[in-house]
Amino acid sequence: MTEKNRFHRLQKLTYLLIIVLLICGARDLWRNFASPGHKKAKFFLKTFNIIQSRYIDKTEPEHLIYSAVDSMVKSLGDPYSQFISQEAYDEIRIFEIGEYGGLGIVVGIRDNNIIVISPIEGTPADEVGIKPGDVIVKIDEISCVGWSLQEVVKKLRGKEGIKVSLHIERGKQQRVLRFEIIRKIIELRTVYSKLINGSIGYIRIADFGNGTLKSFKDAITGFDKKEVRSLILDLRNNPGGFIDQAVEISDCFLSNGLIVTTKGRDKSQTKTYRATNSKEDIHLPLVVLINKGSASAAEIVAGALQCNKRATIIGTSSFGKGSVQGIFPLPDKTALCLTIARYYIPDGSLIDGKGIQPDIEIKIPNSWYEKSIKEQIESLDPQLEKAVEVLKNRMRP
């Protein structure tokens, strides 16, 4: 590395360090040098300089600063707030691009465990039988206990055709299962639709990506040409996504009423989303399916439709993620992912850690999962079966 390049790299790291100091509470650092924030910033810089000049082994400024930022964010005690490395920041863009090499698992952290929020439908993880609520304890024979989400995602994703082994703890008995899964290109299709019994429209939303609303409306348009008299909206194993997509889809079923409220420290993050009346509003009888793999934006939709008495919710309790994250780019192609708001469903409830409770609880027995994929496709699971039963008496004539 030339001296010029080294200078520019250190310059970038200096900018990052300044941002770190700002995050530490030194926003007025340059305007008020006598402030407590300035004293703490000086403390940080002094420590940094001592390590750089006196530690027995040579240290990289980048490593020290990144480690400091990572520890700072972890000290918040929020599993959804993270310092995002260059590699992890690139991973975030995958959601917008629409495909990646991997297994097709959406993961989260709860009680320091790596939890499967949901397998993505039709992916290798889904095909081998990974389930919502599974706890990943080993990846390729290496314990992942205590890993960050970035570390887990980095290990799960990669070149297609490569085998990845997972050790999974499942159920209250915590029985350990081992799966060998081969990575494939995962295409992030978000909406699936079909007819059930010739008159019930079925729409499954796998997640709320940028194009979900358009795909949803296309599915509805497709039903307009058929004799659809009621609808099932399947949000099971939907890990969430963009809040605006969830609000727009909720609004498709509501002519008035509150959809969701977000409350943040910053006034700009405190917002109220209400339904608007439109001639395109969908008035068909509606059932929404949820389970413990339904999280975040999926819970916004389920909560809005339940509280406004627009739909019957069937299934099991949802995951319980009631927070909104913002991405803040930093120098050197890194970023901060911070929880900036919490959302409240129309009845005022904060569902974080609690989830949406179904109107009709139906559990799927283990015997169902023992069926072959073909048998599952050709029949209705117990929750879907109940939805059909409920709608029989509510179909539009």
With both helix axes pointing from N to C terminus, report the angle between 3-23 and 36-54 in degrees, rounded to the nearest 10: 140
Residues 183 and 273 in one domain: no
Last residue of a domain, one of 187, 203, 222: 187
Strands in 206-295 per DSSP E:
230-234, 258-264, 271-274, 286-290
Q: Is 88 within the bounds of a domain? A: no
CATH number for the domain including 149?
2.30.42.10
Last residue of a domain, one of 164, 187, 210: 187
250 — pLDDT class (breaks 50, 70, 90): very high
On whether the CB atoms of residues 137 and 144 are closer than 8 A, the answer is: yes
Q: Is the pLDDT of residue 182 over 70?
A: yes
Residues 17 and 138 in one domain: no
What digits encode the pLDDT tens for the residues 379-389?
A: 789 999 999 99
Last residue of a domain, one of 40, 75, 110: 75
Residues 255 and 277 in one domain: yes
Q: Is the pLDDT of residue 374 over 80?
A: no
Domain around 103: 99-187
Q: Is the pLDDT of residue 6 over 70?
A: no
Residues 145 and 62 in one domain: no
CATH number for the domain including 288?
3.90.226.10
What digits encode the pLDDT tens for the residues 59-108?
A: 888 888 888 888 989 999 998 898 888 776 766 666 555 567 889 888 88
Mean pLDDT for the chain overall? 85
pLDDT at residue 25, rounded to an integer: 47
Q: Is the pLDDT of residue 13 over 70?
A: no
297 — pLDDT class (breaks 50, 70, 90): very high
In this structure, of 160-169, 183-192, 292-301, the range with the lowest mean pLDDT score is 183-192
Q: How many whole angstroms separate alpha carbon 356 and alpha carbon 342?
A: 15
Q: Is the pLDDT of residue 252 over 50?
A: yes
pLDDT at residue 30, rounded to an integer: 44
pLDDT at residue 42, rounded to an integer: 80
Task: Please say whether the dihedral angle defined by the alpha carbons of residues 356, 359, 361 and 364, taken in this order, is positive or negative.
Answer: negative
